[in-house]
Amino acid sequence: MIQGGELLAERGLSLTPSLEALWSGELPESVAGLLYSPSPGAAGRDIAAAESLIEESDWPLLPNLVPLLPVDERSFACIVLSYVDEPPLPGEGAVVRWHLDVKDERHQAALLDTDCLSYVDSLGSELTARNEGLNRVLDQIGPAYQEAFLANDKRPRDFVVRPVRIACQNVIVALAAFSQDSAFDGLGVVAWQTCEVPHVATHEANRALAALTLCDAFKSGGTMEVRFDRPGRVQVGDELITFPGHPEGAVPASLRRFGRTVGVELGVEDPAAISPTEARALFQAVTPMPEELRQRVAWASKNEGVAPERLCFALMTGTWKPLELDFLLASTARTGSIVSGGSDWRNRAARQAESESCRAAFMASMLLGRLDNHDSAGSADGIRVLEDDRQGVTWRCLTEPAAVVFSGLDPEQPLPWCATGAGHDSLTVFPRTALGPDTLAAVRQLQEETTVALLLPRDSRLAIPDDVLTLRCPDRLADIDKSIEAKLLTSRIARG
């Protein structure tokens, strides 16, 4: 019988301590039948059988990957190993997901966990508690919520246990149930279950449910602490059922596993809770944002006292778009006040300064949407197609002149919102509602290097020199202010 070490030696691969402990130790009962054996002929549950199945697909397995167990019917969890007598490879010992068929190559070999032993242990804990968690949400909490609130068109208070369901293409990938708990001023979770499915990116269910959970924790106005050992009560018919916390009695294994892949250890201070510090770090990790914006968020939270969870919540809810927030962080020191709802209306000077920044950010974001999407209205064939047609335009905010550089434009398309018919592959814009000599000097200086334009409201009456390219936003100043006030109002009432 071939042992694991012998199998790897034949392939010139080195055995990691974690993999050796996994193959020689006792496995959790829930995963004992899933792990592939290094010995051949194990009733189809051996490594050779898994590799044979993968080789028949369009994505042959890399030679330094060894299958551990199936993730779903179309993908496998594989460990990354280094070659003998060679320097260790980056990510040695990590577990990645190998798909039999994947449309986007970026999603192949995505990270499942940082260590094979931790992965299998967490998977065992997850599967052991899965049925109880599913039954809670599907058979008890869900029907009770339907009867008490949805059927009566009522909105629950924060302290009511609320079920959450996330689906993709009619497949449920995440279920949870939580409520605000005044005993510790945080969120109490009694159910939190996710799964991996073939058509959803690795850990996307964990990321989406973690983001939704943290948004609820922020909105409820607590400390951002999330506990999984607090009891929750649900009225099911005439019976009051008490759930003694999450079935695992700790931070769910799938959530801890996801946290490790994004560099955030969860449950360190308390195994049964995500501390406020951990929650803030996780919130930043699950919020999609460009790298430069991520660096600005980290800098603002460290040096300007801007709460990172408020910035993440603004992005996740769409209150402020990524370019708007990036421009604000780059061009003004009042971002913290803006994302909190703005200064008091009686402080005219502060209010006016914030309005100018918000107007510029709003117009720049509108322009990005126009540059990045080609509308087929007015095409030669007369057919308008409404679908995702993004061109991959990127941006970079310049701090000192408060400008935005757009790159990746289609040079075949003329610039929007102006009379010129010339196309460009990049464009630097200065969004303004007021104009001073410093701005004109900066525009003229950059004109020598690239295409530069002023971005103004449609009804702006500013006198613009003939040598300066001008883009006019389709919205009037009053329309822009109305949209901004809606954003500020949402920001003011977002946190309980």
pLDDT score of 378? 47
Rounded Cα distance between 129 and 141, Å, is 17
Are the C-beta atoms of residues 110 and 41 closer than 8 Å to each other? Answer: no
Rounded Cα distance between 117 and 27, Å, is 10
Considering the entire predicted model, what is its pTM? 0.90
| Strand, helix or coil for residue 57 | coil
The full set of domains in the chain, from first to last, is: 4-113 (3.40.1580), 123-286 (no CATH), 313-493 (no CATH)
| Strand, helix or coil for residue 186 | strand
What is the 8-class DSSP label of residue 332?
Answer: -
pLDDT tens sequence across 281-319: 999 999 999 999 999 999 999 988 889 999 999 999 999
Are the C-beta atoms of residues 53 and 64 closer than 8 Å to each other? Answer: no
Rounded Cα distance between 23 and 69, Å, is 12
Six token digits for residue 168: 């993709």
pLDDT score of 41? 66
Q: At what angle do helices 291-303 and 276-286 cross, to 10 degrees?
A: 150
**Dmax over Cα atoms in the chain, in whole Å?**
86
Are the C-beta atoms of residues 368 and 395 closer than 8 Å to each other? Answer: yes
* pLDDT tens series, the chain, 496 aa: 357 788 898 899 999 999 999 998 888 888 988 999 888 765 668 898 899 999 998 899 999 999 999 999 999 999 999 999 888 888 899 999 999 998 889 999 999 999 999 999 999 999 999 999 999 999 999 999 999 999 989 989 889 999 999 999 999 999 999 999 999 999 999 999 999 999 999 999 999 999 999 999 999 988 999 999 999 999 887 889 999 999 999 999 999 999 999 999 999 999 999 999 999 999 999 999 999 999 999 999 998 888 999 999 999 999 999 999 999 999 999 999 999 999 988 899 999 999 999 999 999 999 999 998 866 554 445 565 555 567 789 999 999 889 999 999 988 888 899 877 677 889 999 999 998 889 999 999 998 888 999 999 999 998 888 889 999 999 999 999 999 999 999 999 988 6
Average model confidence (pLDDT) across the chain = 91
Q: At what angle do helices 253-261 and 204-219 cross, to 10 degrees?
A: 100
Six token digits for residue 459: 């009804």
Are the C-beta atoms of residues 225 and 231 closer than 8 Å to each other? Answer: no
Six token digits for residue 76: 């496998």
Residue 380: count other Cβ atoms within 10 Å of its Cβ.
Answer: 6
Are the C-beta atoms of residues 24 and 15 closer than 8 Å to each other? Answer: no
Written as one letter, the residue type at 211 is A
